[in-house]
Amino acid sequence: MKFIHTADLHLDSPLRGLSAYADAPAERLRTATRDAFQNLVTQAIDEAVDFMVIAGDVYDGDWKDFNTGLFFVRQMGRLRHAGIAVYLLYGNHDADSEMTRGLELPDNVHVFSSRKAETFRIEHQKVALHGRSFKVAATTENLLPGYPEPVAGCLNIGVLHTALEGNAEHAKYAPCSVAELQAKGYQYWALGHVHAHWVLRGDEVTIAYPGNLQGRHIREPGARGALLVSAEGDRITGIERLEVDVLRWHALEVDISEVSDRRGALRAAGLALERLLDASPAHLPLAVRVLFVGRSAAHGALIADEGQLRQEVLAQALALDPDRVWIEKVRVASQALSTQALPLNDDAQGFLADLAGLSSKAKDDPDFVLSLQADWLALLEKLPHEVLQASPELQALRQDPLAQLPEWLGQATPMLLGRVAQSADAPT
């Protein structure tokens, strides 16, 4: 007997942080979450699993388009056609969604009640599934005590949407601990809510988060998918990961310690991208954040004009495979060598040293600080809320410009030095 355990589909939740540019594979990746789920359903049918467990968060809570629900119903229909039952538990996002209440699901879909824990039994396979859906999003109490006792002689599967103890990244909904789960007497805990893949195998009980089906931003990097669980009698015999994502996020560090100029750094980025592509499945596009790291003489040239740098990295990516690489951001996190090591004449060295010294004093000049703050606010006050939300840096700057001043000036100084060094170096 085998079943699929999935959670956190977040259907139609958009990819974030990717700005489209010419030749980026934008068009075909705008439905990534749907495509991933469709892949999963296809695999379920191909594998002829006995049933599928969905441990919450089918949709984003604030997502209003009912078409998403219709899409979900259609996928459920495919499973029904293949004779595969689905055990669906609503999580915090689903509880918020008005679609949850309006949708008519096919009869192969069994939804766990939100009033109290409910058990579905599959008699011929001796399986008992226990679960309780969220009634409201803000379900902060531990639901576990309400779960029934295990059914003797059956494979007991607990389905729970929970922020397991110690997981700081996710909201603390329906919290409980591993020990509590282990003590419940079920053989398998099909959890949802945490987007990272995590499995705790034990002799008696297995606890698993499949992770979300599709990474949606740079903080959800790597492979994403569901779990194919095999069991014999009341024993879990195997857990296999099904990677169904259609786009994979990757933060690519490019070490430029060994290169001395901008061209070398770009070459290094190109090589790193190429290696990354080689190491990734050929069918999968990648959303890549390129981070230049290391201490290098090329740092100044890179930091001097990040706009141009982004264009050049894009060019590298396009040259490699425009259909497979979507550059999310290019960040220069490298460090400069000391200015004395720069290939400049003495006067230029002296000047750069002076400039660096002057820049460090700028923050103490109230006139300068005022004018800079006015420059910032002129833009920041006009930015839509969503833009501020999308950029923590902009949000922080908007909330407290003065607090951000040292950091921003600290970033601006090397950029300036890089630019001035370039222009001073240009004629020689």
Residues between 293 and 332 with contacts to other proteins, criterion CB under 8 A = 305-307, 329
Binding segment toward other proteins, per CB under 8 A, in 163-171, 229-237, 257-265, 416-424: 416-424
Phi, psi of 186 (to 5 degrees): -80, 160
Please report how close the Cβ of residue 401 comes to other proteins at its closest, in angstroms: 10
Cα separations (Å) of 344 from 12, 298, 348, 354? 53, 13, 6, 14
Of 133-141, 146-154, 248-256, 385-393, the window that binds other proteins (rule: CB under 8 A) is: 385-393
Residue 164 DSSP code:
B
Q: How far is CA 313 from CA 115, 253, 254, 348, 349, in A?
A: 54, 13, 11, 29, 29
12 makes contact with other proteins (CB under 8 A): yes
Per CB under 8 A, does 412 bind other proteins? yes
Quick one: which segment of 31-39, 50-58, 191-199, 253-261 binds other proteins (CB under 8 A)? 31-39
Nearer Cβ to other proteins, position 145 or 350?
350
Q: At closest approach, how far in Å is the CB of 27 from other proteins? A: 8
Q: How far is the CB of 385 from other proteins (least distance, A)?
A: 10
Helix (H, G, I), strand (E, B) or coil at 289: strand
- Rounded to a whole number of angstroms, the minimum distance from the CB of residue 197 to other proteins is 24
Q: Do 100 and 56 meet the contact criterion of CB atoms below 8 Å apart? A: no
Q: Which residues inside 248-267 make contact with other proteins, applying CB under 8 A?
A: none
Q: Which residues contact 393 (CB under 8 A, 6 or more apart)?
A: none
Q: Does residue 396 interact with other proteins by CB under 8 A?
A: no
Among 1, 2, 17, 47, binds other proteins (CB under 8 A): 17
* Contact string 64-103 vs other proteins (x = CB under 8 A): xxxxxxxxxxx-----------------------xx-xx-
C-alpha 203/C-alpha 188 separation (Å) is 11
Which residue is associated with the tokens 């060994």? Answer: 258
Residues between 187 and 206 that touch other proteins (CB under 8 A): none
The smaller minimum CB distance to other proteins, of residues 200 and 394, is found at 394
**Pairing label, strands 118-122, 127-131:** antiparallel
Select from 392, 390, 391 the least CA-distant residue to 14. 390
For other proteins (CB under 8 A), the number of binding residues is: 82
Task: Name beta bridge partners: 209.
Answer: 198
Residue with smaller CB distance to other proteins, 281 or 350: 350
Q: CA-CA distances (angstroms) from residue 324 to 154, 247, 248, 311, 392?
A: 46, 9, 10, 17, 27
Cα 132 to Cα 161: distance, rounded to the nearest angstrom: 9
- Report the residue from 137, 284, 394, 396 that binds other proteins according to the rule CB under 8 A: 394
- For position 372 contacting other proteins by CB under 8 A, the verdict is yes
Pairing of strands 286-293, 51-55: unpaired
Q: Is 352 in the site for other proteins (CB under 8 A)?
A: yes
Tell me which stretch binds other proteins (CB under 8 A): 178-186, 260-268, 333-341, 408-416.
408-416
Residue 100 identity = T
Q: Which of 20, 136, 171, 271: binder of other proteins (CB under 8 A)?
A: 20
As measured in angstroms, the least distance from the Cβ of 11 to other proteins is: 8
Does 23 participate in binding other proteins (rule CB under 8 A)? no
Beta pairing, strands 206-209 & 198-200: antiparallel
Which residue from 138, 341, 387, 403 is in contact with other proteins, where contact means CB under 8 A?
A: 387
